[in-house]
Amino acid sequence: MIKNKRGWIRVVEAFVAVLLIGGVIILAVSQNDDGQDAEISAGVYEDQASMLNAVQSNDTLRNSILGINGTILPLGINDSGFPADVNAKLEEKNPGYLLCDAKICLLEQECVIENTASSDVYASQATIFANLQKYSPRKLVLSCVVLE
């Protein structure tokens, strides 16, 4: 049989202690990373909402978006028919740490913005339904990455 039971018990106790300490360290490190990522995400989404609200609440910009011929949609920010005043407002409201791309689509269209960034991509959208003369629902999609 086993002659030295106390020695084996101490080995098992030491092994369990190392596992517990390692688990606590891993848990603490992972919680710190998640907190920073959540804080960054919240800030980005808040800034995107501010950019989109600036366009939504401006009648001139709304009319520019609603005035686009529906047959040429979806329309990306780099396309020739994208309203320059909307682009200027988005650039004005950009806090500077975001690299953003925008697209205007019909409400029922799939609005995909190609992005080859290796970091997190944050997307938000705003809907613009009508002005006093015209009902023509559109969506403005904003896709941003954080500059490093």
Provide DSSP, 13-67: HHHHHHHHHHHHHHHHHHHHHHHHHHHHHHHHHHHHHHHHHHHHT-HHHHHHHHT
Residue 52 has pLDDT above 90, yes or no: yes
Query: pTM of this prediction?
Result: 0.74
Give the tens place of pLDDT for each residue, 79-107: 999 999 999 999 999 999 999 999 999 99
Q: Which two tokens stand for residue 46?
A: 């808040």
37 pLDDT band (50/70/90 cuts)?
confident
Give the range of the structural domain holding residue 83, as residue numbers without chain letter. Answer: 5-146
Q: Domains in the chain: how many in total? A: 1
Q: What are the start-end ranges of the H helices in 67-127?
A: 84-93
